[in-house]
Chains A and B, each alone.
Chain A
Amino acid sequence: MSADPGVAPVGTSVEGAGTAAVAPWRRYPARVATFCLVELQKLSHDRTKLLTRAVQPVLWMVIFGETFNKLHAIPTGHVPYLAFLSPGIIAQSGLFVAIFYGIQIIWERDAGVLTKLLVTPTPRSALILGKSFAAGIRASAQVAVVLVLSAILGVHLSDDPLDIVGAFLVVMLGSAFFSCLSMTIAGVVLKRDRLMGIGQMITMPLFFASNALYPVAIMPGWLRVLSRVNPLSYEVDALRGMLIGSPAHLGEDVAVLVAAVVAGVAAASSLVSRLAR
C-alpha cells in the first residue's frame, strides 16, 4: 500500500519522536488545568447536569431551611437559620457530588479511558490531583446555585468578590478531598455497585456528623469528636466565616483541608493502578 501524499505528517523519525519532558512543578498545575478544562467542556455539552444537580440544594434550602427558619428550633444566635444553613448546603452539595466521583473512575476503567490515561506521561498523583479538582469544578457549580437561591430567599450573604472567590476555592478543596476518598474506595472495592453502597453508607454520617445543619455547641460530646475529625466541618466553618461573617478559624480550616487533600491524593494515587490490572 503506498503512502497517500495527502496524509499529513503526523509522525516523525524516532529521534524526533515523543514529547519533551516538562519540569514536575509545571506538570502538576498543567494536569490540574487539563482535567478541569475537560470537566468544563463536558458541562458545556450537557447543561442539564447543572439543573439536575441543583435540585437537591434547592430542596434543602426551600423545604428544610424555610421550615426550620420558622420553627427557631436550632439556636444560631443572631444569625437567621437560613443564612446559617446556606454555607452548610453549599458544602453538602459538593460532598454529594464528590463522594460518588469514584464511580466515574471505575466507568473510565471499564471503558478503557483510564488505561490510556495511565499510559500518558502523567504521574499517578498528578492524575488523581487533576481528577479531584475536576470534581471540585462540578461541585463549585453548586456554590453559584446556592448563592443565587439565597438571594431569592432574601438571605444576606457576603457580596465581597474576595469572599465569593474564597468560597469557591474552599468548596474546590473540600470536594477534592471527598472525591479522593471516593477514588480511594474505588481502588479498594474495584466495582461500581460496591462503591455505590459504600458511598450511600458514608454520605449521611459525614453530613450529620458535621456542623452543616446545626452548631457544634449543641452536639453531644461523642458527635463533637466526630465533627472535629470530619473535614466537612472545616469546610463549613470556612464558608460561614466568608459568606455570613460568623467567627471562623480560616487558617486552621484551610490548613486541614489542604492536608486532607494531600493525604487523599496520596491514598488514591497509590491504589489507582489496581483499577487498570
Chain B
Amino acid sequence: MSGDAGAPRGGTGDAPAVRCLGLRHRFGEHVAVDGIDLVVERGEVFGLLGPNGAGKTTTIRVLNTLLPLQEGSVHVFGNDVADAPMAVRRLLGYVPQQLSIEAALTGRENVAWFARLFDVPRRERPARVDDVLEAMGLADAADRLAGTYSGGMVRRLELAQALVNRPALLVLDEPTIGLDPVARDGVWQRVEELRQATGMTVLLTTHYMEEADALCDRVALMHLGRIRAQGEPEELKAARGPGTTLEDVFRHHTGSLLGGADTKGGLREIRTTRRTAGRVG
C-alpha cells in the first residue's frame, strides 16, 4: 500500500486535523453523503450530529479509510486518505458504534493486541498498556476476561485500545449509545480528562444533542447527507434566540426531530444501534 514509508507522523505543517472538501459518497443509487465541506481544527472536540441515516458514520468511515474515497477530498493532518491511508491510520484512534472488544481475552490482552497492531515498540508496550488501562479506570479489572465487563467498562476498554498508540485524532462513533446515564457520564469524563491532559483532537458523532452541547467546541448538524449548519453550540443557539436548545436549532435547520419518523436510517444501521444498545443494556 502506498503512502506509508516516511509519511509524516504528525501530519504536514499546520494542516487542520480534518479537512473534507466536496465529500460525496454513494451506496448504489443512495447518496449517503452529499458534498460536504468540513474542517476540524487541531485540539478541538468536534461533534457531527444528526439522526440515523444522516451520513455521519459514512463520513467517519471515509476519513478513517474504511470506505474508499469516491468524490471530493479528505485530508487528516494533511495526509490524503486516498493516497496515504497507512499514514492516516497511524494518527487515528477509533471507537466504532458497536461494542467491539474480544470477549475471550482479558482487558489487558485486548489493549496489548492493539498496541502490537500499531507497532508500539516492545520495550514501551507494557507501560503504555498499563497507562491507558489506569487512565480509563480499568487497572483493577485488567486481568479479567472482557466478556465479564459491564457496558460502561467495555466502552472504556475500547477507549483504552484506541488510545494506546497515542493518536492525534480520536474518532468516536456514537460512543455512549445504549449506556445508562452514569456510564455515559463516565465515558465523557474520561474523554474530557484526556483532551485536557493531551490536547488531542476529538471527532465524535452522536444524536444526543445535550451531550454534544456540553462537550463539543464546535458541531455540524447533518441531515440527509448534508451539513445544514455548523459552528459553536452557543453561537448556533444564540442565533435562534434566548432559551433555544441545540435540538431546537436542529429542528429549525432540518424541519424534523432527531429520531423522528422522517429519518432515513437504513435497516442495518438501526439493527446495529439496537444490537449495541441491547448488548450494553
> What is the interface of chain A, defined by CB distance below 8 A to chain B?
1-4, 7-24, 27, 30-31, 34, 37-38, 41-42, 45-46, 110-113, 115-123, 273, 276-277
Contacts and interface: CB of A to CB of B under 8 A. Distances in A.
Contact of A120 (B6, B67, B114, B166): B114
B66 A118 contact: yes
Given A10-B131, A42-B102, 9 more contacts: A1-B193, A11-B200, A14-B168, A16-B9, A17-B166, A19-B9, A34-B117, A42-B105, A276-B66
B132 A10 contact: yes
A110 B131 CA distance: 29
A12 B102 contact: no
Contacts of A8: 131-132, 134-135
Given A9-B131, A38-B113, A45 B90 contact: no
B161 A116 contact: yes
Given A7-B197, A121-B119, A15 B90 contact: no
B97 A19 contact: no
A14 B98 contact: no
Contact of B91 (A18, A30, A38, A115): A18
Nearest to B67: A277
B145 interface: yes
Given A1-B189, A9-B131, A30 B166 contact: no
Interface string B44-72: 00000000000000000000111100000
B11 A14 contact: yes
A1 B5 contact: no
Contact of B105 (A1, A14, A41, A273): A41
Given A8-B135, A30-B116, A120-B117, A13 B96 contact: no
B167 A121 contact: no
B104 A21 contact: no
Interface string B78-102: 0000000011011110101111111
Contacts of B9: 15-20
Pairs of residues from A and B, 3 with the lowest C-beta to C-beta distance, nearest first: A112-B98, A11-B198, A112-B100
B265 interface: no
Nearest to B215: A1
Contacts of B87: 21
B99 A111 contact: yes
Most chain A CB within 10 A, of B114, B166, B201, B275, is at: B166
A14 B42 contact: yes
Interface range on chain B: under 10, 10 to 19, 20 to 34, or 35 or more?
A: 35 or more
Contact of B166 (A16, A41, A116, A117): A16
Nearest to B11: A14
B124 to A, nearest CB: 10
A18 B105 contact: no
A10 B98 contact: no
B196 A115 contact: no
B96 A115 contact: yes
A41 B91 CA distance: 28
B192 to A, nearest CB: 5
Task: Output the residue of B104, B161, B201 with the most chain A CB within 10 A.
Answer: B104
Nearest to B115: A19
Contacts of B119: 19-22, 27, 30, 121
Given A10-B194, A111-B100, A21 B4 contact: yes
A113 B94 CA distance: 11
Nearest to B199: A13
A15 B11 CA distance: 8
B104 A12 contact: no
A23 B4 CA distance: 9
Given A119-B89, A121-B89, A11 B10 contact: no
A1 B90 CA distance: 29
15 contacts: A8-B131, A11-B200, A18-B10, A18-B118, A20-B90, A23-B5, A34-B117, A112-B99, A116-B94, A118-B66, A119-B66, A120-B114, A121-B117, A273-B66, A276-B66
A115 B66 contact: yes
B10 A16 contact: yes
A113 B100 contact: yes
A26 B48 CA distance: 38
B120 interface: yes
Question: Which of B27, B97, B117 neighbours the largest number of chain A CB atoms within 10 Å of its CB?
Answer: B117
